[in-house]
Amino acid sequence: MHAIEVEDLHKHYGSERAVDGLSFSVALGEVFALVGPNGAGKTTTVEILEGHRRRSSGRVEVLGFDPAVGGRDYRERIGIVLQEAGVEEEFSPRELLRLYRGMYPRQLSVDEVIELVGLTDKADAKAKTLSGGQRRRLDLALGLIGDPELLFLDEPTTGFDPSARRKAWELVENLRGLGKTVLLTTHYMDEAEHLADRVGVVVAGRLAALGTPSEIGGEARSSSTITFRLPSGVTASEVPDLGATLRAEGEDWQLRTMDPVGALAQLIGWAKSRTVHLAGLTVERPSLEDVYLELIERAGAGASQPERVGAP
Ligand SMILES: Nc1ncnc2c1ncn2[C@@H]1O[C@H](COP(=O)(O)OP(=O)(O)OP(=O)(O)O)[C@@H](O)[C@H]1O
């Protein structure tokens, strides 16, 4: 059984098509990331899955429920961490967790959750005195207290410092270890790459790509970029044919190739024979972020077919 199934989902606000025919599924125990530019329709999609917004059309099933009519039975089985959750400012994390815990039939212990999100030092401080990052951890803690089978995390690490982000990542990995299903949205491609089994790239309410982080981008990600600088007095026309066009990039020269070993062997052989010093020589594969930026540019330019790789 899939944890989440979405088929041809649409959500219109008047003439605006916020979600425009989205289809994807998330397996039980999978960590799935939805990424996409501002306004792409991620939050709308997640809120429909949570049961907080009505869809215009399409089929949605989450843990066997239609979220639109799942009611309390459904809500007890999911955990939700919103972008901006309002909490009672005068209460401490420990008090809030005790309060929320009572609403769920299945529960984790308050101390366990406080420890899990790293809020031990602030467990008894009033919520209004917490920093932005500490608040997000409190939001996470409140999403976890009902021991959900499926957790929705909307931009879980926005505003976190680098070490808090790493801790949040560990937390998501722990959740995966416990067999929980996680659907997260993020603007950080390194986060999607690090955490997600699969990533869906949403652009203008449609899927522009779907697959594992290494599958996304396909061929583009198997290519490498070789960068080097030539000493003064040596021109690019003297460099032998490396199987790809050399492009000037500031003072550097670059080429993109599917055969970096062959191209490097040629380049280095030539440089040695001519005793040419190649300053700043690097070989890089495009990151998920590079591929993502290319994808959204292409999708924005009107490409309509999603790049679909891996399992549906
Ligand atoms: N209640 C609403 N009424 C009208 N339009 C809305 C409403 N909620 C969202 N929209 C519009 O729907 C589109 C999708 O918004 P959504 O919040 O789902 O995007 P997002 O991908 O989550 O963006 P972000 O990354 O900025 O959080 C946007 O153009 C937004 O203006």
Q: Residue 209 pLDDT > 60, yes or no?
A: yes
Phi, psi of 134 (to 5 degrees): -65, -35
Q: Is 186 in the pocket of ligand 1 (CB under 6 A)?
A: no
Nearest ligand 1 atom, CA 187: 25
What is the CA(170)–ligand 1 centre distance, in A? 29
Sketch the domain layout of the chain as residue ranges: 2-213+292-308, 224-284
Confidence at residue 156, expressed as pLDDT on a 0 to 100 scale: 84
* 273: nearest Cα among 234, 243, 309: 234
Nearest CA to ligand 1 atom 29: 39
What mean pLDDT comes out for the span 239-247?
91
pTM score: 0.81
Residue 310 clears pLDDT 70, i.e. is over it: no
Higher pLDDT, 160 or 265: 265
Please report the pLDDT score of residue 89 as a whole number: 84
Residue identified by tokens 């680098």 is 162
CA of 10 to the centre of ligand 1 (A): 13
What is the distance in A from the centroid of ligand 1 to the CA of 187? Answer: 15
What is the residue-averaged pLDDT of the chain? 89
**Of the given ranges (115-119, 178-182, 218-222, 289-293), which has the lowest mean pLDDT?**
218-222
Please name the amino acid found at residue 205: G
pLDDT at 269 exceeding the cut of 90: yes
DSSP code per residue over the chain: -EEEEEEEEEEEETTEEEEEEEEEEEETT-EEEEE-STTSSHHHHHHHHHTSS--SEEEEEETTB-TTT-HHHHHTTEEEE-SS----TTS-HHHHHHHHHTT-SS---HHHHHHHHT-GGGTTS-GGGS-HHHHHHHHHHHHHTT--SEEEEESTTTT--HHHHHHHHHHHHHHHHTT-EEEEEES-HHHHHHH-SEEEEEETTEEEEEE-TTTTTTHHHH-EEEEEEPPTT--GGGSPP-SS--EEETTEEEEEES-HHHHHHHHHHHHHHTT---EEEEEEPPPHHHHHHHHHHHHHTT--S-EE-S--
Query: pLDDT band for position 203 (50/70/90)?
Result: very high
pLDDT digits (tens, 9 = 90+) for 14-72: 999 999 999 999 999 999 999 999 999 999 999 999 999 999 999 999 999 999 998 88
Residue 307 has pLDDT above 70, yes or no: no
Distance CA 3, CA 110 (A): 26
Instruction: Quick: pLDDT tens for 148-165.
Output: 999 999 888 887 788 888
Q: Is 17 exposed, middle or buried (0-12, 13-18, 19+ CB in 10 A)?
A: middle
- What is the CATH topology of the domain spanning 224-284? Alpha-Beta Plaits (3.30.70)
Look at residue 303 in the predicted model and tell me its pLDDT. 44
Name the residue of 12, 38, 44 to mutate for ligand 1: max ligand atoms within 8 A of Cβ: 44
Taking CA atoms only, the protein residue closest to ligand 1 atom 27 is 38
- With a cut of 60, say whether residue 312 has pLDDT above it: no
Q: What atom in ligand 1 is closest to the CA of residue 36? A: 21
Ligand 1, residue 53: give the atom nearest the CA. Answer: 1
Which of 92 and 106 is assigned the larger pLDDT? 92
The class level of CATH for 2-213+292-308 reads alpha beta
The residue whose CA is least distant from atom 11 of ligand 1 is 18
Residue 202's pLDDT is: 94
How far, in Å, from the CA of 167 to the mean position of ligand 1? 29
Residue 148 and residue 77 in contact, taking contact as beta carbons nearer than 8 Å: yes
